[in-house]
Amino acid sequence: MDNKVRDNLLVSSSPHIVTGVDTQKTMAAVLLALAPSFLVSIYVFGARVILLTLVCMAASMFFEWAWNRLMHKEQTVMDLSAALTGVLIAFNVPSNLPLWIAILGCFVAIVVVKQLYGGIGKNLVNPAITARVVLFISFATQMTTWPLPLTPSNADVTTGATPLGVLAEGGAELPSNMQCFLGVIGGSMGEVSAIALIIGGIFLIYKKIISPIIPACFIGTVFVFALVYYSIAGVPEVAGDMSVLGMAIFHIMAGGVMLGAFFMATDYVTSPLLPRGKVIFGIGCGLITMIIRLFGAYPEGVSFSILLMNIMTPLIDNYALKMEIKKQAKKGGAK
Amino acid sequence: MSQKHLNSVKTGHFKNTAGCATEIMPIPDVVKISMSQHIGAPCKPLVAKGDYVTVGQLIGDTDAFVSAPIHSSVSGTVTAIEEQRSASGGRDTLVVIETDKKQEPCADVKPPQAEDLAGFVKAIRESGLVGLGGASFPTHIKFNPKNLDEVKTLIVNAAECEPFITSDHRLMLEDAEDLIAGMELVMKYIGLDHGYIGIEENKPDAIAHLDQLIAEKGLADKMETFTLQARYPKGAERVLVYEITGKTMNAGVLPADLGIILSNVTTIAFVGKYFRTGMPLVEKRVTIDGDAVARPTNVIAPLGTMIGDIINFCGGYKEEPKKILMGGPMMGRAIYSDAMPLVKNNNAILAFSSKQAYIPEETACINCGRCHSVCPFNLIPTALADAYDAKDAQKLSDLRVMQCMECGSCSYICPARRPLAFINKLGKGVVKEAGIK
């Protein structure tokens, strides 16, 4: 105890405490939510999954670190956003993709899409989705050579069409909805298991990391669109004796809908802020996905739909903000 | 009654001192009594150097409408009238009194008698009472609403939603009789039908104690406790009114406009005590906490006691303080020196070492929208910050920046550590300057 006066105290504006959840912890939570799908992918596609994921994560973090270093910017690699982008790139490509192509994708995502636009928080479109689209167009063969699940009968990885590929082009038997639900199907590395992605998504919603609005509107739109379409057009021959309802369930579980709806479309930076905007965004993603799947040249449309809606986001945000101002003005009148 | 809740945030409670019975601090050697302990015009000192003063003696007053008189908290000799920079940046006049530790009461101190509302309001003014929850608005003005016939409800704010602070909690356990008596007096003179005591659910002992007392006194038809969620900021005036009555209260609207008298629990308890003893407002119960304090506890100290002296009574500093707050960590004010006096609206003094007092480093907004999701009034802090960056007064006004009460929930929740509440404060300045209504 002393009687010394302390007169050089720190003065700052309130509040003087903050939550422990910062950007790094937020990104870490999303990484954790991807873990169930990661484990299923290892089971389905083998050890290459681990290698591909680690390489993408390391490459993305390296590009982020190197860019900040070269540009004399504050180092942001530890906020884990680049790590998350890397993991999402790995999840969005076939597990047998040559590593150099995957690394090129990481370069596109981190340097071209993210850093050239100003780094975290400033990018217009989702880096991982854009990288996938760039690779898909540039390396059409490698990006559509889908490994099939490891099963006792084919111990060596063989390749074949994805469920959506079968639906669009035929040539094989459509897998059952249970196979899609569990994930023993062909497809991008991390998108195959609907149940694993749903578990991760529910974790993020429970932890209030993401709002359920975008996933609900996205998945709901795909489901309703498929119901209506197959009611009118009838169930195609390749689907065998699947019902219309079965086809709608098939559409939400096959391809990238679950991964896209829970983990890609909910990217804060490139999706609308206000609930009203999120509804428009989610429905838009669902509509574009189904239009491409059913009427487009490609069997799958999730990444194109999210990319297009990313570009729409500033417009949607602007509209939602104006509606919010109008609503509040009508409600209270007070400013 | 409303089952709807406004948005809020779950902060850590840190009610470390909830079990610490209030200790009476011995009279210090010197007190410095501020002439500006209320919103409104500062008082002028009525004493001069060399005067002998007694406990409860009027030593500062003014004719201004919005103000409250100041009384001596000790007996002793005035040694100086000095100036000091106040915590808010202005100048403060302080009456410095060297105490004789005899605590001679002033001859004027006797329980007031009030015939009617006018007499009651006059007595309240003479007591020097101001809003003790933090706003320090002179209570006699609040108790004299223009639309007297329409005002029917009393709401006592006992939410105490700020982390760390437990002084109101201790008051409800230790001085509940005064609180109930104060409520009866206020309801009788203003003519109110019903009283609510809004308490957060994390103080079940206080709720049970008050429920029991109300039942024992047969007042159950006139007053009741109202349990609130233990979330921040349930104790903000406009939030509390909504939670209890379901009425939306915009900025600039008074509770009286909605038929409500709303006062802090310590303010109402003082009314009961004042009509029992006649002693004006000369001492205050404060929570002393923070990781730099050796022995966190609750203390009753004379107004004007130096913050440093109170902390020394609590075992002194355990670690070198980096930041000292008057009030809670969400809305409290950081003071530059511990040689500042205790004032009426202090309810806590928190001293943080450099570990707890870090200034968060701001990073880029990631557009997560959490700031919007916690705002009690559904403001959009990210959009407000953009409008402030553009100095767009019209946009700031359209986005209702003037509705912001600076509760700090947005800054608290922001993962990028942006000072959003502070930006709103600056944004209000832009709107005021532009003269937009």
Residue with tokens 């309703």: A224
Question: What residues have CB less than 8 Å from A188, skipping those under 6 apart?
Answer: A91, A92, A93, A94, A256, A259
Question: Which CATH number applies to B117-277: 3.40.50.720, 3.40.228.10, 3.40.50.11540, 3.40.50.970?
Answer: 3.40.50.11540
Asked if omega into B233 is within 30° of 0 (cis), the reply is yes
Tell if the CB–CB gap between B408 and A3 is shorter than 8 Å. no
- Please state the pTM of the whole predicted model: 0.92
Does A173 score more than 90 pLDDT? no
**Residue B205 in tokens:** 């002992």
**CB nearest A6 (choices: B308, B383, B422):** B308
Query: In Å, how far are A229, A299, B156 from A303, measured between CA atoms?
Result: 21, 12, 56
Residue of A nearest to B437 (CA): A335
Residues of A whose CB is below 8 A from B330 = 14-17
Q: Which of A68, A62, A210, A202 shows the shortest CA–CA distance to B415?
A: A210
Q: Which helix (H) or strand (E) holds B97?
A: strand B91-99
**Residue B46 in tokens:** 């009525």
**Residue B50 in tokens:** 């060399």
Q: Are strands B23-24 and B297-302 parallel, antiparallel or unpaired?
A: parallel
**Residue B17 in tokens:** 């001192």
In chain B, domain spans: 117-277, 370-434
Structural domains for chain A: 24-152+161-322 (1.10.3430)
β-pair partners for B224? B196
Residue with tokens 């993020």: A204
Tell if the CB–CB gap between B378 and A79 is shorter than 8 Å. no
What percent of chain A is predicted at pLDDT more than 90? 77
Query: In Å, how far are A322, A334, B253, B383, B395 from B398, measured between CA atoms?
Result: 9, 10, 19, 11, 5
Query: In Å, how far are B34, B40, B402 from B345, measured between CA atoms?
Result: 12, 14, 24
pLDDT score of B90: 85
Q: Report yes or no: B234 and B8 within 8 Å, Cβ to Cβ.
A: yes
Looking at residue B317, the DSSP 8-state letter turns out to be: B
Q: Are strands B223-228 and B260-264 parallel, antiparallel or unpaired?
A: unpaired
Per-residue pLDDT tens digits for A121-145:
999 999 999 999 999 999 999 998 8
Does A158 score more than 80 pLDDT? no
Q: Which residues of A touch B (CB under 8 A)?
A: 1-3, 5-19, 21-23, 25-26, 76, 79, 81, 119-122, 208, 211, 268-269, 271, 273-274, 321, 324-325, 328-329, 332, 334-335
Q: What string of H, E and C letters represents the secondary structure of B282-305?
A: CEEEEEEECCCECCCEEEEEECCC
| Chain centre to alpha carbon of residue A202 | 14
Tell if the CB–CB gap between B334 and A9 is shorter than 8 Å. yes
CB atoms within 10 A of CB A48: 18
CA angle at residue B141 from B135 to B142, to 5 degrees? Answer: 60
Mutation target for B interface from A9, A84, A213, A274: give the one with most B CBs within 10 A. A9
Looking at residue B134, the DSSP 8-state letter turns out to be: T
What percent of chain B is predicted at pLDDT more than 90? 92
Q: How far is A62 from chain B (nearest CA, A)?
A: 20
Asked if omega into B376 is within 30° of 0 (cis), the reply is no
What percent of chain A is predicted at pLDDT more than 70? 96
Per-residue pLDDT tens digits for B176-222:
999 999 999 999 999 999 999 999 999 999 999 999 999 999 999 99
**Mean local confidence (pLDDT), B310-324:** 95
Three-class SS of residue B320? Answer: coil
Q: Which of B232, B238, B170, B236 shows the shortest CA–CA distance to B17?
A: B170
Q: Work out how many CB contacts closer than 8 A connect A with B.
A: 164
Per-residue pLDDT tens digits for B119-147:
999 999 999 999 998 788 999 999 999 99
Residues of B whose CB is below 8 A from A211 = 369
**CB nearest B323 (choices: A16, A332, A335):** A16
Burial of B275 (0-12, 13-18, 19+ CB in 10 A): buried
Residues of B whose CB is below 8 A from A208 = 370
Q: Report yes or no: B399 and B387 within 8 Å, Cβ to Cβ.
A: yes
Q: Report yes or no: B421 and B407 within 8 Å, Cβ to Cβ.
A: yes
Per-residue pLDDT tens digits for B5-58:
899 999 999 999 999 999 999 999 999 999 999 998 999 999 999 999 999 999
**Mean local confidence (pLDDT), A83-101:** 97
Residues of A whose CB is below 8 A from B398 = 325, 329, 335
| Chain centre to alpha carbon of residue B225 | 20
**CB nearest A12 (choices: B252, B337, B359):** B359
Q: For residues A212-224, b (16+ Cβ closer than 10 Å) or e, as one string?
A: bbbbebbbebbbe
CB atoms within 10 A of CB B174: 17
| Chain centre to alpha carbon of residue A212 | 14
Q: Are strands B194-200 and B223-228 parallel, antiparallel or unpaired?
A: parallel
Residue of B nearest to A17 (CA): B329
CA angle at residue B251 from A277 to B416, to 5 degrees? Answer: 45
CA–CA distance, B84 with B63 (Å, rounded to integer): 23
β-pair partners for B298? B287
Q: What dihedral do alpha carbons A41, A47, A49, A52 form, nearest 10°?
A: 180
CA–CA distance, B132 with B268 (Å, rounded to integer): 9
| Chain centre to alpha carbon of residue A147 | 21
Q: Which of B68, B405, B406, B64 shows the shortest CA–CA distance to B253?
A: B405
CA–CA distance, A67 with A107 (Å, rounded to integer): 10
Q: Give the CA count within 13 Å in the CB-facing half-sphere of A12.
A: 19
Per-residue pLDDT tens digits for A201-218:
999 999 999 999 999 999
| pLDDT classification of A7: cutoffs 50, 70, 90 | confident
Which of A18-22, A85-89, A236-240, B243-247 is the most confident on average? A85-89
Per-residue pLDDT tens digits for B377-433:
999 999 999 999 999 999 999 999 999 999 999 999 999 999 999 999 999 999 999
Residue with tokens 């019903």: B194
Mutation target for A interface from B11, B162, B398: give the one with most A CBs within 10 A. B398
Question: What residues have CB less than 8 Å from B103, skipping those under 6 apart?
Answer: B27, B55, B74, B75
pLDDT score of A335: 45
Tell if the CB–CB gap between A268 and B369 is shorter than 8 Å. yes
Tell if the CB–CB gap between A14 and B366 is shorter than 8 Å. no
Tell if the CB–CB gap between A10 and B251 is shorter than 8 Å. no
| pLDDT classification of B1: cutoffs 50, 70, 90 | very low
Q: Which of A82, A78, A151, A160 shows the shortest CA–CA distance to A115?
A: A82
Residues of B whose CB is below 8 A from A15 = 329-331, 408, 411-412, 421
Residues of B whose CB is below 8 A from A1 = 294, 312, 315-317
Tell if the CB–CB gap between A325 and B322 is shorter than 8 Å. no
CA–CA distance, B142 with B212 (Å, rounded to integer): 29
Q: Which helix (H) or strand (E) holds B99?
A: strand B91-99
**Residue B343 in tokens:** 């004032």
E-assigned strands of B178-320? 194-200, 223-228, 260-264, 283-289, 297-302
Does A154 score more than 60 pLDDT? no
CA–CA distance, B321 with B312 (Å, rounded to integer): 13
Mutation target for B interface from A2, A4, A5, A6: give the one with most B CBs within 10 A. A6
